[in-house]
Amino acid sequence: MKSNAILTRSREGKKATGCTLMFPSADLVELAGIAGFDFVHLDGEHGTFSPESVDAMCRAAEAAGLTVTARVPSHDPSVINLYLDRGVQGIVAPHVETQAEAKAIASACRFGPQGDRSWGGGRATHYNDPKSISDDKGSRLPLMQRANAEMLVVAQLETKKALGDLDAILAVEGIDAFTYGPNDLAQSLGLPGQPDHPTVTDAMRKATDRIHSRGRKTWSDLATTANAHQLFLDAGRKFVESNRK
């Protein structure tokens, strides 16, 4: 079980750098490793990822020395488990609105006694091969404890309801950080298509202050990410423009 680069950086008092992918590409993962990123983040909610492609992304990332995190399509435990069994070490759960949902997400991401993550035969658990996963006593507990210690769980707050229940959500153990969905939050606040509206930005600022006042972290405290497609578009536009003079 490899270390989670985001957690390692955080323990050193540093931020990790990540590259977000909207589509599967082992080549881009490899290039991200060469470029010096710490992790790749797969957008499973809005991207085009299947379990097979997540497997391939995790293999490529491990070869490139990168940690893999993912925003899952939903926070149903079975969906979360599919990603974890592939080798993902960080889960961003979208549309978290209540304390009960936050508890269920934290539990689904960790093995007992900290949670109730299901044990399976995926690549993350060495395909359930006894010789690969058991210690000299035949126990799988050391691997399970290591997986728990290197797991990062992030709750995404995207609605007026979520911010209204924030204090209760912050009381949940096992959620390591919080983030927002500015576009969905704007829509929830009656301002569709206006994520930069002062009402929206002020709501996120106040929520961040409350998060920090409770000694908790936001995703931006831990990591800085760049979208792979935006990096290409920005660089591509500059190249095209500079050669059209």
Catalytic residues: 46
Q: What is the CA radius of gyration of the chain?
A: 19
Question: What is the distance between the alpha carbons of residues 18 and 154, in angstroms, rounded to a whole number?
Answer: 15
Look up residue 24 and give its two tokens: 């599967």
- CB 9, CB 221: distance < 8 Å: no
Burial bucket for residue 132 (CB in 10 Å: 0-12, 13-18, 19+): exposed
Instruction: Write phi, then psi, for 74 (nearest 5 degrees).
Output: -155, 170
Q: Which residue's structure tokens are 């995190």?
A: 69
Can you spell out the DSSP letters for 169-180? HHT-TT--EEEE
Question: What is the distance between the alpha carbons of residues 128 and 189, in angstroms, rounded to a whole number?
Answer: 46
C-alpha pair distances (Å), 110 with each of 4, 84, 207, 213: 14, 10, 26, 26
C-alpha pair distances (Å), 4 with each of 12, 67, 88, 225: 13, 6, 10, 16
Look up residue 180 and give its two tokens: 């927002």
Question: What is the distance between the alpha carbons of residues 123 and 60, in angstroms, rounded to a whole number?
Answer: 13
